[in-house]
Amino acid sequence: MTQPHRLAAGGIVDRSRTLGFSFDGAAYEGHPGDTLASALLANGVHLIGRSFKYHRPRGIVTAGADEPNALVQLAHGARTEPNTRATQQELYHGLVADSQNRWPSLSFDIGALNDVFSPLFPAGFYYKTFMWPPGPRWWLKYEHAIRRAAGLGRAAREPDPDHYQHRFAHCDVLVIGGGPAGLAAAQAAARCGARVMLCDENATFGGSLRGDATLIDGTPAASWVDAGIGDLAANGDVTLLPRTTAFGYYDQNLIGLVERVADHLAEPPPFTPRQRLWHVRAGTVVLASGALERGIAYAGNDRPGTMLAGAAQAYVTCYGVKPGTRAVIFANNDSAYEAAVRLHDAGVSIAAIADARPEAALSGDHPQRARAAGVAILPGTAIVRAHGGLRVAGVDLASLQGGAARRIDCDLVCVSGGWNPAVHLYSQSRGKLRYDDALATFVPDASPQSIVAAGAANGKIDLSAVLANGHDAGLAAAARSGFAARTAQSAPTTAAVSTGPLQALWSVPSRRSAKCFVDWQNDVTVADIALAAREGYRSVEHLKRYTTLGMGTDQGKTANILGLALLAAELGVSIPQVGTTTFRPPYTPVTMGALAGHEVGATLEPTRYSAMHDWHVEHGARMLNAGLWKRPHSYPRPGESEDDAANREAKNVRSNVGAVDVSTLGKIELQGRDVAEFLNRVYINRWDTLAVGRCRYGVMLRDDGMVFDDGTTSRLSTTHYVMTTTTLNAVNVMQHLEYLLQVEWPELEVFATSVTEQWAGAALAGPKARQVLAALVSIDVSNAAFPFLAVGECELIAGGARIPARLFRMSYSGELAYEIHVPVTHGRAMWEAVMAAGEPFGIMPYGTEAMSTLRIEKGHVVIGPEADGRTTADDLGLGKLVSPAKWCIGKPLLARPALTAPERWQLVGLTAIDGTIPRGGKLVADPGQATPTPMLGHVSSWCWSPNLDASIGLALLERGRARHGDTLWAVSPLADARVRVRVGPPCFIDPEGERLRV
Amino acid sequence: MLLIPCPWCGPRNQIEFTYGGDATLKRPPADAPVEAWFEFVYLRDNPCGPHDELWLHSAGCRRWVKVRRDTRTHDILASARPDQALPGGET
C-alpha cells in the first residue's frame, strides 16, 4: 500500500492526482500540495539525514522555514541544490532527493563513529586540538580532513542552466506573511484604497489556517482564506506573491523578496525565470511572519520521530498525514494540547501528555478538550530520556520533582517549549526587541523604520487576538500612507479561547554524558553551552562563535532562544541581560543566482560596440576589451600571427598609410561664453590663445597634482569646443567637469554634453594620408590650407552620399595624420569610403597593438602605464606645458618639495642591447647584487619596434633624464629574465616632429 | 540601499547615484598658500551623526546634489541643489 500514513480526508493536498518521486533511490508517491517532507511522512519515512558533527540519524522536526535537520540534496547534475529544506520544497512529479552527510548509506554511516567518540569533540575542539604543531601548514592538512567529515550537501559543479530576474516595486503597504494576521491586515489596508503587496513563503495563502476548519466569521477557516484571497486578487491595487520569502530588510524600507517562480517544477518552462528577486520600497511593512516553535532539551531529543507539536499538527490539518501511530506529547504551554486533539482526532494514539506545569495551570480550553477526549495528562512531568536509534522507540517520563522514571513506548514525540515570534525582519529594520515574561521570549518593541508587527509575530497567541491585531495593523499601515477607512470596518472574528500560562522550561536535567540538543543542525548540546560559559564565553556573541550555536543554514531558528536562556542560567543572570545575537539577512538562504539576476556572463555589464565593429569582425580582426568597448587588437591574415599582423600594420603606417577606429575616445561638447576660461582652469596649458579652427593637446591634473587625463580640445567656433578624453577615462572626466561646473564654478557659462556615442571616428595616418583624404573630403587639405593642428567641418564623399564630418589634423603615431569624425549612423559608410580611397595607396586597417607600438616609438605617454596616478606632468616630460601665466587644478600642490625633487622617477626610453625587454621588468644597476637589489625604476610599456628592428620600451627611472646613455638591466624574476638596456630619450622616431607637419 | 531624494527627480534608489564626498569642503582661492590646499585635498573629518555629502545622480539627471546623511543610521535627513543651503546650515 502506498502512502500508508495518509489520512482519508483533510488538508490542502489533491488526492485525485499522484506524483511519483524518489528519496535515496527508493520510489514513493505523494500528491499535489505536498511538501517533500509531508510526502515522506505519508510514506512513513522519518529518517532524512545525518547530523553535521556527530553523524546522528535525524528526522523531520518542523513543517517550515525553521527546519534544522530535514535537509536534502535536491535533483542531479547542473540543477542539483544542497541543503534544501524538505519542509519547504514542494513536491513535483519526478522529484529526486538524496540524504546528506552519510557514507556509505543513511542507515549505516561510518561517520557515526564521531558520536561514539564524542567526548573527544567538545565545543571549540578545533581550537584546542589543532594547535600543534604550530604554523598554518598543519592546519591546512587537518582542515582538509575535517571538511570531508563534517558538512552537509554539495554544490553543483556545472553552470547554472536557469535564469533569474530582478524586479523593482513600490507599494503603500507590504504585508509579509499570508496567515490569519497578514490576511486580515491586507484586507483592511486594501479596503482603505492603499496599494498592497502580500507575500507568503508557501504556495498557498492561509498559513496556520490551511486545511483548518475553525470558524471565522461563521465560515470554516480554509474557506474564509479562499474568499479573502479572491477579494484581494480582484483588486487591481493588490499584488499577491505566493512562494515568496521576504529575506531582508534594508534602509528606508527596502525589503528584499525572493519569489520561487519555478522551484515547484522539475525545470522552469521556456522564457520563465527560476526565481525572481524583488526590491520593494514599502510605505509601511506589516510583519505578519508568525511565530516559530521552540523545543525543550532532553537526552535524545533528536531521535527521528521527534517533532515540534505545531509541526505535527500542521502535517495532520494541512497535509492530511499522520506523522506517527502512537505519540507522547511533551509541553510547557497550551498550544501542544490543540495539536494533541488534532492528532487524536486523526487516529493517532496519544500515549500521554507530559506537561511541566502543575495541575492548576491546566485549566485552559485546549487542555480541557484533551481531557474530554480521554487523553492521559501527566502534570509536573518531563521526558528525561528518549530511546531508539533510527526512529524513536519510547521515552522515559519522570516527575520534575524527582523520582523514578517509567518508560512509555511510542513512535512519535511532539515537543512544545513555547513560541518565538519571527522577529528576524523586525530586528533587521533596526527595531528593538523586548523580553516578554509571559511568553518567555523576545517580542517587537519599537523600530525607527515604518514597520508594524501583527499577530503571532507580535506575540499574540489566540486566533481571535491574532485576527484583531492583524486588522488593526492593516488600518494603521494604510493610515501612515494617508489612506483612511472608507467605511466602518470590523476585524474578522472567531471564538476566543482561554489559555493557561506558559511555564518556561529550557532543558530537563540528565546525566552529564547524555546529549541534550539545543541546536539540532550544528549539534550544539546543553553541555556545550555550559562548557562555553565555564571557559569564559559569557557574551552571547562569543557563545555563538565558540559553540557554532545558530550558525547553520537555519540560523538557529529553533535553537537560539534556548541557547541564550541556558547561558543566562549558567551565568545566573536574566535572559534580557544576555540579549540576542544580531539577526542578519537572509531569513532563509537565497540562491546566488537570484542575487545576481541577469548580471552574469555576457550580460554582467554592458558591451559597447563602435559603428564599424561588424566591418572589423568581417575583416578578420581579433577583438579585445577596452573597458566596456570591443576594439580590434589586429587584423591577422590567414596564416599570420597576431604579433606579425600588428608589426605589419605598424610598419605600413610609417611607410604608406593606415586607418584605426578611434570611436571609443571620450568626446565632450563644450559650449558657452566661458569655455576658454574653464579650459584654462582644468588643463595645465593655456587655452585663451586657441583660435577658431585650431586644436591643441592638453593635460589635466587631479587636485593633488598628479596627471589625471590627456586629450585634445578643438575650437569649432567662438563659443563651441569639442574635447576628447582617453577611452577609459571618458566617464570620469565628464563627471569631473560636471562637478566643477555645477558645484565649484556655477558662475561660468559652460554647457558640457557627452557625445561619445554620437560620433564615430577614424584616424588616418601615414605619409600618404593626405593623398587618400584629398579624394574623400569637400575641402582643401593641402598643408597651407589645412596645416598641423587645423580643425574644420566638411563633407565626406562616400559613394554618392555626402556625409557631414569634422576633420582634425592631429597625430598620435607621429606621422602625417588626420582624424575624421562623422555622426555615428554614418560610421561604417565613412570607414568603407576611407578604405576604398586608400586602396591605391596600400592602406591597411590597424588595431590597438600597432597603435601602441607607434606611440611607444614616438614616446607618447598613456594614462595608466605611464600616468599611473603617481606621476606629475614633469615626470612625464610634459612639465613645460604647465603654464606659468595662470592657475589650474592641481597646480598649487605641485610646489610640494617631494614633487620637484631631483631623484623623482622620470620618463625615459629603453632599447634592449641583447634579448627582449621583459614584461613588467624592473630596472637595476647590477642584477648580480645581493637581494634586495635597489630598484631604480620600472618598465611601463614595451614592444618590438618593426620600424627600428629592436626591442624598445618606455620606463619611469629615478633621475631618468640625467641617465641618457647609461646602461642598466631590466630584470623580471618572475620570467627569470635579465636584459641589458640602454637608456635614452623617450622619443625614438622623428624627435623634431617633421613628419607630422609636412 | 539608500533612498535619496534628488531635488530634480524625487526619491531615487542609491544605485542611480555616485558618491562624491564631503560637501562641506571649501575650495581655497587660487592664490591660497599650499597649506590651505593640503587641507582641502587630504584632510577629512569622519563625523558620527549627520553629515553633508555630495552625490551625483549619475544614472539619472546627472546633477550633483547635496545630501545630509546620518552616518550612524543611514537616515537621509535632507537634500538640496548644490547652490542651496541644507536646512539648519552646514553639518
pLDDT at A752: 98
Contacts of A168 in chain B (CB under 8 A): 13
Q: What is the largest CA-CA distance in chain B?
A: 41
The residues that bridge with B84 in the sheet, in sequence order, are none
pLDDT at A147: 66
Whose grid coordinates read 573629518? B45
Q: Which residue of B has its CA nearest to A739?
A: B64
Residue B9 touches chain A, beta carbons under 8 Å: no
Has this prediction a pTM greater than 0.80? yes
ipTM: 0.97
Between chains, do B30 and A735 touch, taking CB under 8 Å as contact?
A: no
* pLDDT under 70: residue ranges of chain A: 1, 125-136, 139-140, 145-151
User: If 0-12 CB within 10 Å is exposed, 13-18 middle and 19+ buried, where does residue A536 land?
Assistant: exposed
Domain-located, residue B25: yes
Domain range for B9: 3-80
Backbone phi and psi for residue A126, each to the nearest 5 degrees, phi listed first: -55, -50
Q: Residue A928, CB half-sphere, CA atoms under 13 Å: how many?
A: 1
Between chains, do A738 and B62 touch, taking CB under 8 Å as contact?
A: yes
Residue A582 touches chain B, beta carbons under 8 Å: no
Domain-located, residue B88: no
**Mutation site for B-interface testing, chosen from A166, A168, A252 by largest number of B Cβ within 10 Å:** A252
* Residues in CB range of A31: below 8 A, 6 or more apart: A6, A13, A14, A15, A17, A18, A19, A39, A91
Closest CA to A181 of A458, A592, A495: A458
Please, are residues A354 and A370 in contact by the beta-carbon 8 Å criterion?
Answer: no
Backbone phi and psi for residue A742, each to the nearest 5 degrees, phi listed first: -90, -35
Q: Residue A887, CB half-sphere, CA atoms under 13 Å: how many?
A: 10
User: If 0-12 CB within 10 Å is exposed, 13-18 middle and 19+ buried, where does residue A412 land?
Assistant: buried
Q: C-alpha A413: how far from its chain's center?
A: 40
Q: Which residue of A has its CA nearest to B38?
A: A893
Please, are residues B3 and B14 in contact by the beta-carbon 8 Å criterion?
Answer: yes
Between chains, do A251 and B40 touch, taking CB under 8 Å as contact?
A: no
Set of cell numbers at residue A976: 627569470
* Residues in CB range of A544: below 8 A, 6 or more apart: A550, A551, A563, A581
Set of cell numbers at residue A412: 512519535
pLDDT at A779: 95
Please, are residues A649 and A658 in contact by the beta-carbon 8 Å criterion?
Answer: yes
We report the CATH number of the domain holding residue B51 as 3.30.2270.10
pLDDT at A133: 67
Contacts of A738 in chain B (CB under 8 A): 56, 62, 64
Between chains, do A254 and B3 touch, taking CB under 8 Å as contact?
A: yes
Residue A963, SS3 per DSSP: coil
Full DSSP string of A778-801: SS--STTTS-TTBEEEEEEEETTE
Cis status of the peptide bond prior to A104, with omega within 30 of 0 = yes
Whose grid coordinates read 593655456? A686
Please, are residues A176 and A285 in contact by the beta-carbon 8 Å criterion?
Answer: yes
Domain-located, residue B91: no
DSSP state for residue A949 in the 8-state scheme: T
Between chains, do B56 and A746 touch, taking CB under 8 Å as contact?
A: no
Cis status of the peptide bond prior to A133, with omega within 30 of 0 = yes
Contacts of B82 in chain A (CB under 8 A): 742-743, 746
- Compute how many other C-beta atoms are within 10 angstroms of the C-beta atom of residue A165: 16
Residue A704 touches chain B, beta carbons under 8 Å: yes
Between chains, do B58 and A735 touch, taking CB under 8 Å as contact?
A: yes
Domain-located, residue B89: no
- Compute how many other C-beta atoms are within 10 angstroms of the C-beta atom of residue B50: 17
In angstroms, rounded to a whole number, what is the distance separating the alpha carbons of residues A479 and A474? 9
Domain-located, residue B71: yes
Distances from the Cα of A282 to the Cα of A300, A511, A540, B13, angstroms: 45, 52, 33, 13
Set of cell numbers at residue A159: 553552470
Domain-located, residue B55: yes
Set of cell numbers at residue A318: 494541512
Residue B31, amino acid = D
* H runs (alpha helix) in A697-744: 730-739
* pLDDT under 50: residue ranges of chain B: none
Please give, rounded to a whole number of angstroms, the shortest distance from the CA of B88 to a CA of chain A.
20
In angstroms, rounded to a whole number, what is the distance separating the alpha carbons of residues A376 and A382? 14
Full DSSP string of A124-150: THHHHHTT-S-SHHHHHHHHHHHHHHS
**Which tens digits make up the pLDDT trace of A789-798?**
999 999 999 8
Contacts of B74 in chain A (CB under 8 A): 251-252
In angstroms, rounded to a whole number, what is the distance separating the alpha carbons of residues A343 and B45? 65
Q: C-alpha A923: how far from its chain's center?
A: 43
Between chains, do B1 and A279 touch, taking CB under 8 Å as contact?
A: yes
Domain-located, residue B63: yes
DSSP state for residue B71 in the 8-state scheme: T
For Cα atoms A459, A463, A467, give the angle at the middle one, nearest 5 degrees: 85
Number of domains in chain B: 1
* Residues in CB range of A8: below 8 A, 6 or more apart: none
Please give, rounded to a whole number of angstroms, the shortest distance from the CA of A165 to a CA of chain B.
17
In angstroms, rounded to a whole number, what is the distance separating the alpha carbons of residues A547 and A537? 10
Tell which A residues from 623 to 682 touch B, by Cβ distance under 8 Å: none
Q: C-alpha B2: how far from its chain's center?
A: 14
For Cα atoms A876, A881, A885, give the angle at the middle one, nearest 5 degrees: 145
Domain-located, residue B87: no
pLDDT at A131: 63
**Which tens digits make up the pLDDT trace of A954-996?**
999 999 999 999 999 999 988 899 999 999 999 999 999 999 9
